[in-house]
């Protein structure tokens, strides 16, 4: 179990990190990003789309690392982000895919996908409200490094409310295949 040193509201709460996984990597992908998207999904999508670079995420990575013991900190090499309009819905859904630094353990994330479908007039950069508003549909997906002993290339997982659910073997670790897996999951699991 890992605990951050920061006692402010922005500090990551005490979270379980699987044995062998690197704390910084795991906490960022499985908790910090998810919690940030839950608090301000529309603003985060807009900020990442406008930046067209991973700079905002690199700052967050550094902030999280500063709250960890020095020995657990990692550099952000390999961290990247892409934003896509997802589907033909109106208003549009946006998929943000975060490519994580290289993995070295089966429970570490290769990609994180946050899908946000706001209600009409919900993507307003001047709006000061935080948190998903009524009608904001939000889904958070993780493609983890697979367990080499089982010949599984990747593991597809989804956060539902506060529950982390492993949905089964994942696709090849490419942004396109990950996006296709999210589309497939959305079509077949809309009632969950």
Is residue 191 over pLDDT 60? Answer: no
Which pLDDT value is given to residue 161?
A: 65
Q: Round to whole Å and give the CA distance between 59 and 64.
A: 9
48 bridge partner residues:
none
The pair of structure tokens assigned to 77 is 């090499």
What is the structure's pLDDT at 6? 40
Average pLDDT, the chain: 77
| pLDDT > 50? residue 130 | no
What pLDDT is stored for residue 12 in this prediction?
39
Share of the chain above pLDDT 90, in %: 29
DSSP string, 17-28: --TTS-HHHHHI
Q: Is the backbone of residue 121 left (phi > 0), alpha (psi -120 to 50) or beta?
A: left
Residues with Cβ < 8 Å from 159, sequence gap 6 or more?
34, 140, 141, 142, 165
Confidence band, pLDDT 50/70/90 cuts, at residue 190: low
Please answer whether residues 21 and 56 qualify as being in contact, where contact means their C-beta atoms are separated by less than 8 angstroms: no
Bridge partners for 158 per DSSP: 141, 165
Give per-residue pLDDT as tens, 114-127: 887 765 544 444 44
What angle separates helix 41-51 from helix 55-66, to the nearest 10 degrees? 120
End-to-end CA distance of the chain: 29
Q: Among 37-51, 74-88, 129-143, 147-161, which range has the highest average pLDDT?
A: 74-88
DSSP 153: -
Summarize the confidence of residues 63-87 as an average pLDDT: 90
pLDDT band at 147 (very low <50, low <70, confident <90, very high): confident
Boundaries of every domain in the chain: 23-188
């Amino acid at each position: 179990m890992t605990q951050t040193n920061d006692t402010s509201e922005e500090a990551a709460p005490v979270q379980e990190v699987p044995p062998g996984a690197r704390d910084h990597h795991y906490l960022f992908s499985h908790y910090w990003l998810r919690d940030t998207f839950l608090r301000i999904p529309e603003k985060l999508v807009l900020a990442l789309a406008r930046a067209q670079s991973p700079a905002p995420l690199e700052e967050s990575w550094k902030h999280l690392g500063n709250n960890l013991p020095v020995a657990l900190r990692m550099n952000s090499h390999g961290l990247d982000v892409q934003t896509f309009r997802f589907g033909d819905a109106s208003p549009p859904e946006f998929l943000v895919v975060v490519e994580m630094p290289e993995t070295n353990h089966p429970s570490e994330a290769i990609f994180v996908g946050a899908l946000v479908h706001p209600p009409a007039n919900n993507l307003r950069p001047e709006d000061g409200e935080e948190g998903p508003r009524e009608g904001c549909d939000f889904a958070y997906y993780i493609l983890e490094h697979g367990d080499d002993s089982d010949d599984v290339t990747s593991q597809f997982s989804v956060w539902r409310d506060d529950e982390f659910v492993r949905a089964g073997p994942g696709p090849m670790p490419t942004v396109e295949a990950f996006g296709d897996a999210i589309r497939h999951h959305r079509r077949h699991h809309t009632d969950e």
